[in-house]
C-alpha cells in the first residue's frame, strides 16, 4: 500500500518548534546532558511536585494560571501556580499529621475535580506514592486494586465512597478515608476540607532519590489481577522533555490534555510534564460532547491539544460544519495517543482545524512518550513516528533477537530511560518477565520501515483497547462469572469503527438459565456496576462451551478468529470446541 505523507511547511508553525532537527538531536542526545532541564535539590535529590509547581510559583510565573477547571454544570475555578503550591503544601501537611510514612500509598478516587490534583501533588511532596483510580470503577475493580496496593489512605467523595464501603471489610489496611465533600459519617473518615483549612501553607518538600517511588497506576494484562505499575521521581525528566519536544509545549501555551488523570496520560501530561514546562492546563469534568469540546477550545484559547483517536473520530462524526462554527484559531499543535491513529482522522484534522494530528506511542509501564511524530518531521500518515532522543527502539523476535526492517515482530525498547517503571508493585517476577535479552518487551507488535518510522500492528496479547482505555479480558471474565447465570466466560476485543474495539463476551450459562435479551442486559449491567463503567461487555453471546487449552486456559484468539471469520490457526493445544 502506498504511504501518504504530510510534508511540513513553514506556515505550519506559528512558533519555532522546540525541537528543530530530530535526526541531529537523536544522534547526539543523552539524558545526562538534559538533566538540568528539571530542578534538583542538593545531593542529587529531586521531587516531581516541586518541578511541576513550586519552581514556577517561585518565579515570575507565580500568578500565572496553572489550572483552568470547569465542569458539566458550568462551575468554573482557576488556580495559579502559587495557589497550587500552597494547596498542595497544605495537603502534604495533612498527610504528615496523619503520620504518612516514606513511600506510603495514597489513592485518589475522585472525578476530575481540583482536589484530585491537589491531593496528587501533596502526596508527592510528602514523599508518599500517589495513585489514581478511574472514577468508573465499581466495588470489585476497587477491591482488587486497593488490596494489592495495601494503601492506608484514600481520598474520595461521598458518592464514590459508597462503592468502597461495599468492599471495605475486605480492606483491613485501609484506615483513613478523606472525604472531600461531606462531614465524616463513619469511623476512619476525615473531613478533607476541614483539615485543609487549618493546615499550614508552608511545607518542606521531601527530597527524593531518582528511583524513589512517586506514583502507582494499575493496568491490565491478559491474565491475573491488575498490576500496580510504579514510577519514580526521575520520570519527570522524560515527561518534561517529551512535553517540550513532542507536544511542543512552550510556556505561553494553554494546553488541553483530554485524558482522565485516572490514566497515565492524564498524569504525565495532564499534570506533570506540561506544568514542568510552565504551561497552563485546562481540565473539564464532563462527558464527551462535540459542541462542548469546541466551546472549551474556543473559550480557553487552547493552543496545544493532546487527545485520542476515539475522540477525533467522534468529532469527525459530528461534522466539519460544527467545527467551523467556533473560533479555533488559537490551536497550533495537535497530538494523539492511546490507539492507532489511522490516516482518516489525520485527514479530518487537516480539513477541520487546518492542522495535522501528531500520533505518538507509549504505555502505562513506560511513563512517558517513547515513539512520536515531531513538529519538525514529516508525517507518514498511520505511523507512530520515530523513537524519542535517548530511546532505542527495535523490533525483535520471540527470543529477543533484532529483526530486519519491514518485518513484523515485537516492539522492544532498550532499558533504562528515566520514565520506565521502577517495579510492578509486590510482583518482582512479573516485573522481570517484561525483559528479554537486554530489551524491554512492550507487548505490542509492530514493524520499522526503511526510513526508521515505526508502524503499529496490534497487541501481542489479548489486552483490549476500548475508546483508548486498556482493559484486561481476565478481569472482565472474572466479573462475569460472579453473575448467578454465568458458568464460564471468554472475552475479546471486537474491532469497532468508532471505539477501536468494544468488549465482547462469550458466556456459557448455568443449568436452568436460558438465553434472552433481558438476561444479556442484566449480565452487562452487573459487570458495569461491579467492575467498572468503562469495562463492561457491549456485546454478549451465549455459547455451549469455550475453546480451551488442555491446561484449561481460554483460547481467546480462537474466539476472535471465529467472530471475525478468520482462519483459526494452530489449534494443536485446543481441548475442545
Q: Cis link prior to 166 (omega < 30° from 0)?
A: no
| Stretch of residues binding ligand AMP (CB under 6 A), selected from 334-342, 481-489, 507-515, 523-531 | 334-342
Quote the cell numbers at residue 65.
494560571
- Least distance (Å) between residue 394 CB and ligand AMP: 16
* Residue 453 interacting with ligand AMP (CB under 6 A): no
- Least distance (Å) between residue 468 CB and ligand AMP: 8
- Least distance (Å) between residue 185 CB and ligand AMP: 35
Q: How far is CA 151 from CA 209, 218, 322, 422, in A?
A: 22, 13, 46, 18
C-alpha radius of gyration, the chain, whole number: 23
In a 3-state reduction of DSSP, which class is residue 400?
coil
Q: How far is CA 57 from CA 67, 85, 302, in A?
A: 13, 7, 22
- Binding residue (CB under 6 A) for ligand AMP from 125, 231, 386, 465: 465
Quote the cell numbers at residue 9.
511547511
Residues binding ligand AMP: number (CB under 6 A): 20
- Binding residue (CB under 6 A) for ligand AMP from 275, 353, 456, 474: 456
Measured distance CA(147)–CA(241) in Å, rounded? 34
- Least distance (Å) between residue 134 CB and ligand AMP: 11
* Residue 340 interacting with ligand AMP (CB under 6 A): yes
* Residue 238 interacting with ligand AMP (CB under 6 A): no
* Residue 260 interacting with ligand AMP (CB under 6 A): no
- Least distance (Å) between residue 357 CB and ligand AMP: 10
Q: What is the DSSP letter of 301?
A: T
Measured distance CA(139)–CA(153) in Å, rounded? 17
- Least distance (Å) between residue 55 CB and ligand AMP: 28
Quote the cell numbers at residue 328.
479555533
Judged by CB, which is closer to ligand AMP: 254, or 257?
257
Binding letters toward ligand AMP, positions 172-211, x by CB under 6 A: ----------------------------------------
| Stretch of residues binding ligand AMP (CB under 6 A), selected from 94-102, 288-296, 335-343, 514-522 | 335-343
Which residue, chain included where needed, has cell 488442555? 550
CA geometry: angle 138, 142, 148, nearest 5 deg: 160
Judged by CB, which is closer to ligand AMP: 442, or 478?
442
Q: Count Cβ atoms within 10 A of the Cβ of residue 24 and give its class: 0-12 exposed, 13-18 middle, 19 or more buried.
A: exposed
- Least distance (Å) between residue 219 CB and ligand AMP: 5
- Least distance (Å) between residue 152 CB and ligand AMP: 26
Judged by CB, which is closer to ligand AMP: 69, or 269?
269
Using the CB atoms, write b or e for 483-504: b if 16+ within 10 Å.
bebbebbbbbbbebeebbbbbb
Residues 350-379 that bind ligand AMP (CB under 6 A): 359-361, 363-364
* Residue 338 interacting with ligand AMP (CB under 6 A): yes
- Least distance (Å) between residue 229 CB and ligand AMP: 8
Q: How far is CA 353 from CA 247, 320, 321, in A?
A: 17, 9, 11
- Least distance (Å) between residue 222 CB and ligand AMP: 12
* Residue 163 interacting with ligand AMP (CB under 6 A): no
| Residue whose C-alpha is closest to residue 338's, from 556, 499, 112, 225 | 499
- Least distance (Å) between residue 477 CB and ligand AMP: 19
- Binding residue (CB under 6 A) for ligand AMP from 54, 285, 444, 501: 444
- Least distance (Å) between residue 421 CB and ligand AMP: 11
Are the C-beta atoms of residues 122 and 90 closer than 8 Å to each other?
A: yes
Judged by CB, which is closer to ligand AMP: 384, or 558?
384
Sheet harboring 386-387: ordered strands across? 76-80, 65-71, 280-285, 254-257, 304-307, 333-336, 357-361, 371-372, 386-387
- Binding residue (CB under 6 A) for ligand AMP from 249, 264, 277, 531: 264
* Residue 459 interacting with ligand AMP (CB under 6 A): yes
- Binding residue (CB under 6 A) for ligand AMP from 113, 337, 421, 424: 337
Judged by CB, which is closer to ligand AMP: 276, or 364?
364
Using the CB atoms, write b or e for 440-475: b if 16+ within 10 Å.
bbbbbbbbbeeeebbbbeebbbbbbbbbbbbbbbbb
Q: Count Cβ atoms within 10 A of the Cβ of residue 572 and give its class: 0-12 exposed, 13-18 middle, 19 or more buried.
A: exposed
Measured distance CA(293)–CA(287) in Å, rounded? 10
| Stretch of residues binding ligand AMP (CB under 6 A), selected from 105-113, 124-132, 439-447, 487-495 | 439-447
* Residue 261 interacting with ligand AMP (CB under 6 A): no
| Stretch of residues binding ligand AMP (CB under 6 A), selected from 30-38, 72-80, 441-449, 528-536 | 441-449
Note the residues at the interface with ligand AMP (CB under 6 A). Answer: 219, 264, 337-341, 359-361, 363-364, 384, 442-444, 456, 459, 465, 470
Amino acid at each position: 500500500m502506498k504511504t501518504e505523507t504530510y510534508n511540513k511547511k513553514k506556515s505550519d508553525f506559528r512558533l519555532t518548534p522546540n525541537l528543530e532537527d530530530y535526526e541531529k538531536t537523536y544522534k547526539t542526545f543523552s539524558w545526562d546532558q538534559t538533566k538540568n532541564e528539571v530542578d534538583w535539590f542538593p545531593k542529587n535529590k529531586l521531587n516531581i511536585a516541586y518541578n511541576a509547581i513550586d519552581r514556577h510559583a517561585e518565579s515570575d510565573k507565580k500568578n500565572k494560571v496553572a489550572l483552568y477547571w470547569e465542569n458539566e454544570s458550568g462551575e468554573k475555578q482557576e488556580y495559579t501556580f502559587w495557589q497550587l503550591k500552597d494547596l498542595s503544601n497544605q495537603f502534604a501537611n495533612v498527610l504528615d499529621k496523619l503520620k504518612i510514612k516514606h513511600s506510603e500509598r495514597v489513592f485518589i478516587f475522585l472525578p476530575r475535580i481540583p482536589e484530585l490534583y491537589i491531593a496528587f501533588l501533596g502526596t508527592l511532596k510528602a514523599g508518599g506514592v500517589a495513585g489514581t483510580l478511574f472514577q468508573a470503577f465499581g466495588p470489585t475493580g476497587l477491591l482488587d486494586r486497593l488490596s494489592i496496593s495495601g494503601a492506608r489512605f484514600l481520598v474520595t467523595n461521598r458518592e464514590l465512597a459508597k462503592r468502597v464501603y461495599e468492599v471495605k471489610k475486605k480492606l483491613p489496611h485501609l484506615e483513613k478515608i478523606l472525604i472531600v465533600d461531606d462531614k465524616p459519617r463513619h469511623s476512619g473518615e476525615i473531613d478533607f476540607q476541614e483539615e485543609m483549612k487549618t493546615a499550614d501553607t508552608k511545607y518542606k518538600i521531601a527530597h527524593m532519590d531518582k528511583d524513589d517511588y512517586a506514583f502507582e497506576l494499575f493496568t491490565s494484562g491478559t491474565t491475573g489481577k491488575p498490576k500496580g505499575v510504579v514510577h519514580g521521581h526521575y520520570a519527570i525528566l522524560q515527561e518534561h522533555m517529551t512535553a517540550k519536544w513532542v507536544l511542543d509545549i512552550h510556556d505561553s501555551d494553554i494546553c488541553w490534555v483530554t485524558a482522565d488523570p485516572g490514566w497515565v496520560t492524564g498524569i504525565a501530561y495532564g499534570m506533570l510534564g506540561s506544568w514542568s514546562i510552565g504551561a497552563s492546563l485546562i481540565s473539564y469534568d464532563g462527558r464527551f460532547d462535540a459542541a462542548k469540546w469546541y466551546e472549551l477550545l474556543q473559550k480557553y484559547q487552547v493552543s496545544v491539544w493532546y487527545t485520542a483517536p476515539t475522540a477525533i473520530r467522534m468529532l469527525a462524526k459530528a461534522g466539519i460544519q460544527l467545527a467551523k462554527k467556533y473560533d479555533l484559531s488559537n490551536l497550533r499543535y495537535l497530538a494523539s495517543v492511546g490507539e492507532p491513529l489511522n490516516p482518516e482522522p489525520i485527514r479530518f484534522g487537516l480539513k477541520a482545524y487546518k492542522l495535522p494530528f501528531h500520533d505518538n506511542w507509549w504505555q502505562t509501564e513506560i511513563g512517558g512518550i517513547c515513539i512520536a511524530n515531531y513538529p519538525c518531521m514529516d508525517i507518514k500518515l498511520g505511523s507512530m513516528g520515530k523513537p524519542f532522543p535517548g530511546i532505542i527502539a527495535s523490533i525483535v523476535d520471540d527470543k529477543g533477537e533484532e529483526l530486519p526492517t519491514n518485518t513484523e515482530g515485537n516492539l522492544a525498547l532498550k532499558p533504562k530511560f528515566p520514565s520506565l517503571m521502577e517495579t510492578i508493585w509486590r510482583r518482582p517476577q512479573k516485573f522481570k518477565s517484561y525483559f528479554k535479552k537486554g530489551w524491554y518487551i512492550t507487548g505490542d507488535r509492530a514493524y520499522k520501515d526503511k526510513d526508521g518510522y515505526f508502524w503499529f500492528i496490534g497487541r501481542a496479547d489479548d489486552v483490549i483497547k476500548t475508546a483508548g482505555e486498556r482493559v484486561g479480558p481476565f478481569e472482565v471474565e472474572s466479573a462475569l462469572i460472579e453473575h448467578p447465570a454465568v458458568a464460564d466466560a471468554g472475552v475479546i476485543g471486537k474491532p469497532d469503527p468508532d471505539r477501536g474495539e468494544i468488549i465482547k463476551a462469550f458466556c456459557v450459562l448455568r443449568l436452568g438459565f436460558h438465553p434472552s435479551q433481558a438476561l444479556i442486559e442484566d449480565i452487562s449491567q452487573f459487570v458495569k456496576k461491579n467492575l467498572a463503567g468503562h469495562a463492561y461487555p457491549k456485546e454478549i453471546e451465549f455459547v455451549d462451551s469455550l475453546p480451551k487449552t488442555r491446561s484449561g486456559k481460554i483460547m481467546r484468539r480462537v474466539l476472535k478468529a471465529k467472530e471475525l471469520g478468520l482462519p483459526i490457526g494452530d489449534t494443536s493445544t485446543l481441548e475442545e470446541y
